Structure 1
């Protein structure tokens, strides 16, 4: 496997950051995604990687969380939510 250059790492960090910014367009989603990623990362505890790599990984986690929030809001998971949380739909 070839060595990874700092320029490559910087490009990956920027690409993931851009993806996160485009996915978490709503400020409240961005905040919730940040908090979720921070909680996950603090529980995981892997801090031996270089700071840009940690930043990239946290941004990737935030991106996934923000997309999940968007999918929930858009109704893409309504059937699953009703199965997971039937108590929300009981009358």
Structure 2
């Protein structure tokens, strides 16, 4: 496998950045940023080059925001009852 070119890397960075802008609403931004920072810190990514760190951070935020949206939409309501039987059904 050959290494990606600078052009390919730039395209990937732009794609993730565009996806981040389109899918991480303001209401999720703080929680998604916090979750991404925790994951990156726990994985030791704070030593990664700034551009790579930002790319990974934004990609994590995209996934986290999508999960928050799914939770708000009720996509996991039945699963939550299984995962957390201690929660009231009120």
The TM tier, using the shorter chain, reads 0.7 to 0.9
- TM-score normalised by the chain length of structure 1: 0.85
- Cα distance in 1 for residues equivalent to 2:23 and 2:59: 11
Regions of 4+ moved over 3 Å: 47-50
Aligned length: 90
Gaps of 5+ in 1: none
SS in 1 for 2:36: helix
TM-score (norm 2): 0.86
Q: Quote how far apart the aligned CAs of 1:90 are.
A: 4.7
**For the aligned residues, what is the CA RMSD?**
1.7
| Pairing of 1:1-91 with structure 2 (within 5 A) | 1-25=1-25, 27-90=26-89
Q: Aligned partners of 1:8, 1:47: CA distance in 2, in Å?
A: 24
Partners of 1:48 and 1:35 lie apart in 2 by 18
| Alpha-carbon distance, 1:2 to partner | 2.0
Which structure 2 segments of 5+ residues have no match?
none
- Paired with 1:47 and 1:2, the residues of 2 have a C-alpha distance of 26
